Amino acid sequence: MCSGNKKNSQERWIASITLVLVLVGFFIGLVRNSEDVYPYLNKLMPNTTSFKNTGLEAYTAFSSDAQETATAYIATGEFDGFGGPLKMLTAIDTTGKIISCEVIEQRETSSWYRRVMDAGILETLRGKTCRDPFVLGQDVDGVTGATYTSRAIVESVKQASRQIANENLHLNLADDADNKFTFGFPEISLILLFILGYIARGRGKKYLTRIRWFSLISGLLIIGCIINYQITIVDFSKLFMGYWPNFYNHVYWYILVWGVILIYTVTGKNIYCQWICPFGAAQECIGAIGKAKAYSGFEYKATFKWIRWAIVWFAVISAFIFRNPGIASYEVYGTLFDLSGTNSQFILLIVILGAALLIKLPWCNYICPVPVFQNFAGIFRRWVLEIIKGKKA
């Protein structure tokens, strides 16, 4: 009993110190200045002589210092990407044609962002007119596996072009931002998997294993291979930082993140990791082939636990300080399901999948950030419940 109380006290101290550090990182990030637009103006239009500020992050470009005849109009646009708000600077000439556009703020995962940039999405936007629809898959080609980043860039440019069209070119174009309510196969599938895991967790052992395997394989195929959007450290960072995306076109994100949180709050169980996680399912399938074993009582388990704790919270605090959830990411989910990532991510993936043949769920047990958040929430959850029970007694 004494050792149990000592362990609880130690965990609460560590969790409390972590919370304080996270809050410090959050406030440091708040006082950091946002990206200055001026350095990007010359990059956007290198042959322009002068710029005049005409509004909130809106500018007019001139070919001479006298500023007599405008050559272009410049405005910013912002839309939610994968890691948070993405801001673009767009220049349009006096005929309504896009001259150039640049990303001035982004919070995307580096590998996905680089993939979109390498695909030349900015080049496809140059030359379009402010009257164009700017719709992915129609007049603009998206990048497979990076839909959120692609859409954020396109919508930001459209937003800026519509502003210039109405305020500078007086074209009176309608505001047709992409705010359509999206609810379809991805959202329905995720809800059904959550319901299946929630209901089945209390069933008898006879059918539990079969139901769980059905749920895991479904998660592997649907959430991993088809939808390719698993919960990551970026999602938790976005949540904590207040970068909540537009609900209408990010319904899936709200179901995923809040589904995990609400079910854990009510039941104290992590349904997502146990029943849905595609990467966990992949490891279990490989482990079944190699007859992997769980090493729950090995000597350095506690050491590994606190090392993972330190890595995860260092990543989160760094994201807070730099106001960029994307830099916290170190997962290899996209490397497996989308075959994209850095060389180090591919090496880590090979090591993890190889280890999964012999060790049960190596990523989940020793590296994945989700159990850290679960443990963090669990410490405070148990603490609050003890206080409530103590008051009732």
| CATH (domain of 107) | 3.90.1010.10
Q: Is 328 within the bounds of a domain?
A: yes
What number of other Cβ atoms are within 10 A of residue 41's Cβ?
19
> Are residues 243 and 364 located together in one domain of the fold?
yes
Distance CA(244)–CA(238), nearest Å, equals 6
Flag whether 177 is in a domain: no
By the 8 A CB rule, do 304 and 295 touch?
A: no
Considering the domain architecture, whether residues 198 and 282 belong to the same structural domain is answered as yes
Q: What's the pLDDT score for residue 66?
A: 63
Considering the domain architecture, whether residues 135 and 225 belong to the same structural domain is answered as no
Is 176 within a domain?
A: no
Residue 382 lies inside a defined structural domain of this protein: yes
Asked if residue 15 lies in contact with residue 380, where contact means CB atoms within 8 angstroms, the answer is yes
The answer to whether residues 93 and 221 belong to one domain is no
**Antiparallel, parallel or unpaired: β 70-80 and 98-105:** unpaired
**How many domains, the chain?**
2
The closest alpha carbon to 82, from 196, 204, 234, belongs to 234
Say how far apart CA 70 and CA 62 lie, in whole Å.
Answer: 5
Taking CA atoms, 38 is separated from 53, 160, 195, 375, in Å, by: 10, 16, 51, 44
Residue 102, amino acid:
E
Crossing angle, helix 370-392 and helix 301-321, to 10 degrees? Answer: 100
- Strand order through the sheet with 50-55: 50-55, 58-62, 70-80, 85-93, 98-105
Coil, helix or strand at residue 7:
helix
Task: Report if residue 174 sits inside a domain.
Answer: no
Query: Do 373 and 234 fall into the same domain?
Result: yes
pLDDT in tens, 205-221: 667 888 999 999 999 99
Which two structure tokens, joined as six digits, stand for 193?
């998997």
Residue with tokens 């000592």: 6
* Widest pairwise Cα distance in the chain: 83
Predicted TM-score (pTM) above 0.95: no
pLDDT, position 156: 93
Low-confidence ranges of the chain (pLDDT < 70): 1-7, 32-35, 65-67, 145, 175-179, 202-206, 296-300, 391-393
Give the domain-ending residue among 103, 132, 167: 167
Structural domain span for residue 87: 38-167
| Residue 203 dihedral angles phi and psi, to the nearest 5° | -80, 165
Statement to judge: residues 256 and 153 lie in one domain: no
Say if residue 189 is in the same domain as residue 70.
no
In a domain, 173, yes or no: no
Do residues 153 and 287 share a domain?
A: no
The set of residues, in sequence order, having a beta carbon less than 8 Å from that of 257 and lying 6+ positions away, is 231, 235, 236, 239
Say yes or no: 45 and 26 in one domain: no
In a domain, 175, yes or no: no
CB atoms under 10 Å from CB of 15, counted, come to 18
Q: How many CB atoms lie within 10 A of CB 66?
A: 9
Which ranges of the chain would DSSP assign to H, the alpha helix? Answer: 2-31, 38-44, 110-118, 121-125, 147-167, 185-200, 205-218, 233-241, 251-267, 271, 278-290, 301-321, 333-337, 343-355, 362-366, 370-392
The DSSP letter of residue 62 is E
Pair 244, 195 in one domain? yes
The residue behind tokens 């916290």 is 328
Considering the domain architecture, whether residues 22 and 48 belong to the same structural domain is answered as no
Residues 163, 232 share a domain = no
Q: Which of 167, 202, 228 is the last residue of a domain?
A: 167
Q: What pLDDT, on a 0 to 100 scale, did the predictor assign at position 392?
A: 61
Taking the C-alpha atoms of residue 246 and residue 80, their distance in angstroms, rounded to an integer, is: 7
CA separation for the pair 345, 105 (Å, rounded):
25
CA distance 257 to 32: 27
Residue 176's pLDDT is 67
Per the domain annotation, does 227 fall within a domain?
yes
The two three-digit tokens of residue 34, written as one number: 């946002």
Residues pairing with 62 in the sheet? 50, 70
CA proximity to 252, closest of 330, 335, 194:
194
Structure tokens at 196: 């299946």
